[in-house]
Amino acid sequence: MQTGRCPKCGGSRIAQTRYVLYRGAGISGPNLALYVCADCHFAEHYVTDKVESLVSALDAWSWVLPDEGGPFRR
């Protein structure tokens, strides 16, 4: 999407905007970029901040551990 081409339909009419995710009580979350295809309406969000700083600063973020082959993972 960031290259100007939709990965779903191949369309080139891509709109973008940037915003900050508000968490309430005066706390802002990460800066985000939103890309939307005008042809098929497929959308992608991208975090524009460094992910490492988000994981260390925001309680709601954590690292996903590698798949350990549990009974509910494929």
For 8-31, the pLDDT digits (tens) are 999 999 999 999 877 777 667 788
Give the three-class secondary structure for 57.
helix
Tokens of 46: 């991208």
Tokens of 47: 């975090």
Q: Is the pLDDT of residue 50 over 60?
A: yes
Whether the model clears a pTM of 0.95, i.e. scores above it, the answer is no
**Close Cβ partners of 67 (under 8 Å, ≥ 6 residues apart):** 73
Q: Is the pLDDT of residue 56 over 70?
A: yes
